[in-house]
Structure 1
Amino acid sequence: MGAKEKNIRVLLTGGGTGGHLFPAVATAQEFQKQMPATEVLFVGTRRKMDSRSLGMYGFASESIRSYGLKGKSVLELLKAVAILPVSYLQALRIIRRFQPDIVVGVGGYVTGPVVAAAKSLGLPVVLHEQNSVPGLANRKLGTLADRVCLSLPGSGSEFSADKIVYTGNPVRTKILQLAGTSLPPKSGRKTLLILGGSQGAHAVNRLVSEAVCAFTDAELQGIKVIHQTGEKDQEQVEAAYQQRGMDALVAGFFMKMDEVYAEADLVVSRAGATTLSELAVLGKPAILIPYPSAADNHQEKNGQYYVDGGGAVQYRQKDLNAEQLGIAILDLMYNREKLSMMGAAMKALAFPDAAERIVACCLEQIGKYRK
């Protein structure tokens, strides 16, 4: 019986950030699009954002006790290592109960025990790596995986060449649907969208709010601002915009990102892989300020791919001040031709069929294991 002729049970594991979670959601959505009877279970962290987001998409989830290893103190490392046998046994119990046909790991420390348990039970495993520099969990698990799906060219040096499949980074269904929609041309004001990432980014929030609040009344007249701040900075940023008398929509976190993206003419953002994939699919030009403490400086390397392709400009946080950022924003916001060219270049770098490629890879492995 072929994989598509049977109800598929897919276990996805990973999380800890939206960058890990949303590609997993997109993959699950594609499985259910192709095979509506597909049963999906996420195994991840106890983070509020993970459970809130998964609940919104209607997916069942379970969590195991697990702690990260990278960049931790000696005591934290001892704690993380000590809990690994418990994590592994919890993962075994969940897998035996759910009986998946395949396990898909999307990175993050929780992936390790789940993938190890899956392989000990003889299940196929596919990993997906979002970033230009593979994360620690995926690097270590590459030897166990049957296939490793990569998002960006040049990111495969850590894995066996015969396991690598370049798929791109999948984006959620509603954002793909928006990408396929012909939006009417906007007249009047341009919309500046600021994304600090799923957990906010204090430095980006400060830089952008200072930059925009320093614009003249004439400059502000043609700009609307939408700013995702993260919960910690929401009140402060909102107060700054109100004091300046600006037209600004501020929220800690936007659940309906497709509606927010639809408004945007220019985006100021960190350089997380998932955000970049969404911007590319939608053809949104961007000013990128990579998170300087990202593991292996992967955000700057993520961003460079889009800079090289002409869809974005990128600044190191340490080299940037509010005045410079303000000049960069105005230079693009009031240059329709440049915005349009960057948007087209961004779209040319996209992988709109990434989820389909990952699902095809998974079905191939399911078929091999059933022979």
Structure 2
Amino acid sequence: MKVIVAGGGTGGHLFPGVALADAFREIESGTEIVFMGADRGLETKVIPRLGYELVTLPIAGIMNMGAMRGFARSVGLMRAVLKAYRLLGRLSPDLVVGVGGYASVPGVIAASLRGVPRCILEQNVIPGRANLFLSRFAQRIYLGFPTIKPLFPMGKTVITGNPIRRQALVSGETGKAAAGERRTCLLILGGSQGAAQLNDLAMEAVPDLLRGNSSMEVIHQTGTIHGKRVKDHYEMEGVEVEVIPFIQDMGDYYARADLCLSRAGAMAVSELAAAGLPAILIPYPHAAEQHQRANSRWLEEFGGAVTIEAAEANPALLQGEIKHLLNSPPLLEKMAAACRRAGTSDAAHRIAGEEMHRLAGLRQGNQAAGQ
């Protein structure tokens, strides 16, 4: 069996695809996986390191996901679809999975033109323009959140939650030390690309939280471009913070933390829910269709998070909210339980299993038709 995972560009689209690829191989070890992504996307750095094959498309000409009619007519799209069509002819996949973002569009369209079985994943509470456009070509649409089902064609959607990498899941063997043997832990996630405003807010708020407070520790993932700047700032302030540009195996860090400060990307919210980790979420204010605000509000409505709007966020407000939550263990426990009710950890295997079952049915149907 051969599966093409189409899309990427950012971690929010790429890592669900990685989780799904891993699940296919765990179910059937001989499954061949090929990623089809952008020639300048995050996948060019991540996928080869993970040992998967990567083919790239000329995506730069179709990155403006404005009016879909203009997008569909663009020369850049036609070039990318043509290359994807040729690649599918050479690779002969059994399935194409679109994982969202502009980089997924050519591969899913080409799969439709070639008659290759295809599905897409939608990670956000508010669907992206690319997936709304691709919904007419997809045969199955897997949803990370149930609230968006009415926005897609009837009969195509399956609510599964978002696929989460095994490295981001909290192991049952990994846990916090007993009370009295550990410090409370704040985990700050600046995102894989680095969220400048969130990093700056944390840099201003954290030193005063740590001074004279030996019962608290802070882990700050900064994103690759902000690591040195953030580390230098904390050292200048004379406080000890564990600064990490990018965390590969998130599960261990989720297990260590009592509270997380993060943006509200779909995968961050999904991972925090699955980990049972309470959060303060500051949605990125310029996200398309304000989808990060919708993601954040979804977890807040469950009781697992507090939302602070970017326009209102300041160091003093952040300090007050962090102190309030970390000094209220019963409230944190209540929020953690709410996260666990909202989260799911088996979406990758469920989607892989569903698609394998669907493909088996299609093969049986084709064999019966040929007899």
- After TM superposition, the score normalised by the length of structure 2 is 0.92
- The residue type paired with residue 44 of structure 1 is G
Q: Distance in 2 between matches of 1:308 and 1:79?
A: 37
- The residue type paired with residue 307 of structure 1 is E
Q: Distance in 1 between matches of 2:208 and 2:49?
A: 38
Deviations 1:234-275 (A, max 9, x none): 222212211222221112222232333232221100001111
Deviations 1:158-194 (A, max 9, x none): 2112111001001002233x34335243433111111
Paired positions, count: 358
* CA shift for structure 1 position 48: 5.8
Contact 1:311/1:342 (<8 A) preserved = yes
Aligned to 1:208: 202
- The residue type paired with residue 204 of structure 2 is E
Query: Which of 190, 193, 198 is the matching residue for 2:192?
Result: 198
Q: Distance in 1 between matches of 2:348 and 2:210?
A: 44
Aligned to 2:324: 331
- The residue type paired with residue 183 of structure 1 is G
Aligned to 1:146: 139
- The residue type paired with residue 64 of structure 2 is L
Q: Which aligned pairs between 1:48-197 and structure 2 lie closer than 5 A?
A: 49-66=42-59, 67-70=62-65, 81-176=74-169, 178-186=170-178, 187-197=181-191
Deviates more, 1:45-54 or 1:148-157: 45-54
* CA shift for structure 1 position 92: 1.2
Aligned to 2:20: 27
Deviates more, 1:335-344 or 1:193-202: 335-344
SS of the residue 1:155 aligns to:
helix
Asked if residue 262 in structure 1 is aligned to residue 255 in structure 2, the reply is yes
- The residue type paired with residue 27 of structure 1 is L
SS of the residue 1:317 aligns to:
coil
SS of the residue 2:149 aligns to:
coil
Asked if residue 306 in structure 1 is aligned to residue 299 in structure 2, the reply is yes
Q: Distance in 2 between matches of 1:265 and 1:368?
A: 46
Q: What 5-or-longer segments of structure 2 have no aligned partner?
A: 366-371
Would the alpha carbon gap of residues 43 and 275 (structure 1) be closer, same or farther in structure 2, given more than 3 Å must change? same
- The residue type paired with residue 212 of structure 1 is V
Contact 1:269/1:286 (<8 A) preserved = yes
Q: Distance in 2 between matches of 1:165 and 1:179?
A: 27
Would the alpha carbon gap of residues 241 and 251 (structure 1) be closer, same or farther in structure 2, given more than 3 Å must change? same
Contact 1:124/1:365 (<8 A) preserved = no
Q: Distance in 2 between matches of 1:96 and 1:180?
A: 44
Aligned to 1:245: 238
Asked if residue 227 in structure 1 is aligned to residue 248 in structure 2, the reply is no
Q: Distance in 1 between matches of 2:73 and 2:303?
A: 42
Deviates more, 1:189-198 or 1:138-147: 189-198
- The residue type paired with residue 224 of structure 1 is E
Q: Distance in 2 between matches of 1:274 and 1:80?
A: 31
Q: Distance in 2 between matches of 1:183 and 1:319?
A: 34
Q: Distance in 2 between matches of 1:216 and 1:267?
A: 16
Give the percent of matched residue pairs that are identical in Structure 1 and Structure 2: 39
Q: Distance in 1 between matches of 2:73 and 2:224?
A: 28
Q: What 5-or-longer segments of structure 1 have no aligned partner?
A: 1-7
Deviations 1:82-135 (A, max 9, x none): 222211111012111111111100101121111111111111111100000111
* CA shift for structure 1 position 78: 8.4
Aligned to 1:276: 269
Deviates more, 1:312-321 or 1:206-215: 206-215
Aligned to 2:369: none
Would the alpha carbon gap of residues 349 and 179 (structure 1) be closer, same or farther in structure 2, given more than 3 Å must change? farther
Q: Distance in 2 between matches of 1:249 and 1:118?
A: 45
Would the alpha carbon gap of residues 115 and 79 (structure 1) be closer, same or farther in structure 2, given more than 3 Å must change? closer
Asked if residue 12 in structure 1 is aligned to residue 5 in structure 2, the reply is yes
SS of the residue 1:352 aligns to:
coil
SS of the residue 1:36 aligns to:
coil
